[in-house]
Amino acid sequence: MTGERVTILIALFILVTVAGVAVAVYRFVESERLEDERYELGETELIVVNTTGSQVSLHRSSGNIAEVDLVPNFDGDRIWLPAGSYFLKLDREPAIGSGDEKGT
């Protein structure tokens, strides 16, 4: 390679590296800004770690257990919630071979 090509490759490498760092910094700052905004609104982030593979549903209660609403748009993983009373419901099917199946 000629010296000119090496210089161009080094310049491109530096440019791509700087652009990558800039994008990473922007994404971090934007994420922090959005989290601060949610906090100011009094919201809490719920993160569910479902290692059992259970079917998870999120419900909101108005204080009376008979008055419960399913929270829409909850994918079973994470969600931002406004202030309120919530509970998770987990429905788990028995694992095959665990001895919990019907007829065993």
- Convert the pLDDT of each residue in 7-36 to its tens digit: 999 999 999 999 999 999 999 999 899 888
Question: Domain span at residue 25?
Answer: 1-40
- Convert the pLDDT of each residue in 85-100 to its tens digit: 899 988 876 555 555 5
Written as six digits, the tokens of 65 are 């257990």
Distant-in-sequence, close-in-space partners of 56: CB < 8 Å, separation ≥ 6: 48, 50, 74, 76, 88, 89, 90
Q: For tokens 């569910």, what's the residue?
A: 48
Is residue 97 domain-shared with residue 76, that is, in the same domain?
yes
Is residue 36 domain-shared with residue 16, that is, in the same domain?
yes
Is residue 15 domain-shared with residue 66, that is, in the same domain?
no
Confidence band for 104, pLDDT divided at 50, 70 and 90:
very low
pLDDT at 46: 93
